[in-house]
């Protein structure tokens, strides 16, 4: 049973394409050593592609979204502070000074950014983020390549 979250299933498909593609091409060209080398190269290429895709999906894109939201939210909070109607929420006392309001707004923004950090690493296979599964994929490619070459 394969367990994935988000686009994590792409890791298995990328691995299959890399190692399987190397096996098919190696079989067409002929020779066990050629097949082993092409499976190794295909698996390592798949691991590299999966690493970059995983970093993009799990780190880069969520960080861009967090930064965009934080910039928008910071403008909103600063406007609220400037108007003098900023509070931490319903039932909370109003800040006594502009400096206190700015400090509370900065604290609130930091708390919201920390909560948004949960958007990272949403794409995984077997509970391992895609980019880190690339290490497993590279090891598997080396083992398969060596086993085919030694037989």
Angle between helices 130-150 and 32-55 (to 10 degrees): 170
H or E element at residue 52 = helix 32-55
Contact between 134 and 50 (Cβ < 8 Å) = yes
Q: pTM for the whole thing?
A: 0.79
Domain count, the chain: 1
Domain, as residue range, for 62: 4-150
Q: Whose CA is closest to 14, among 144, 107, 137, 116?
A: 137
Region 116-123 average pLDDT: 86
Q: Is 17 left (phi over 0), alpha (psi -120 to 50) or beta?
A: alpha
Tens digits of residue pLDDT in 136-149: 999 998 898 788 77
Read off the pLDDT band of 116 (50, 70, 90): confident
DSSP codes of every residue in 14-25: HHIIIIIHHHHH
| pLDDT tens per residue, range 66-113 | 999 999 999 999 999 898 888 888 888 888 888 898 999 999 999 999
């Amino acid at each position: 049973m394969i367990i994935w979250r988000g686009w994590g299933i792409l890791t298995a498909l990328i691995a299959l394409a890399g190692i399987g593609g190397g096996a098919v091409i190696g079989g067409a060209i002929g020779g066990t050593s050629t097949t082993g080398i092409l499976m190794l190269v295909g698996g390592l290429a798949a691991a590299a592609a999966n690493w970059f895709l995983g970093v993009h999906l799990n780190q880069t894109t969520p960080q861009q979204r967090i930064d965009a939201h934080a910039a928008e939210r910071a403008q909103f909070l600063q406007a609220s502070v400037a108007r003098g109607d900023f509070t931490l929420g319903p039932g909370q006392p109003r800040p006594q000074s502009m400096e206190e309001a700015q400090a509370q707004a900065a604290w609130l923004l930091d708390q919201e950014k920390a909560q948004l950090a949960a958007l990272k690493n949403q794409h995984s296979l077997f509970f391992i983020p895609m980019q880190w599964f690339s290490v497993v994929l590279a090891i598997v490619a080396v083992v398969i390549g060596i086993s085919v070459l030694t037989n």
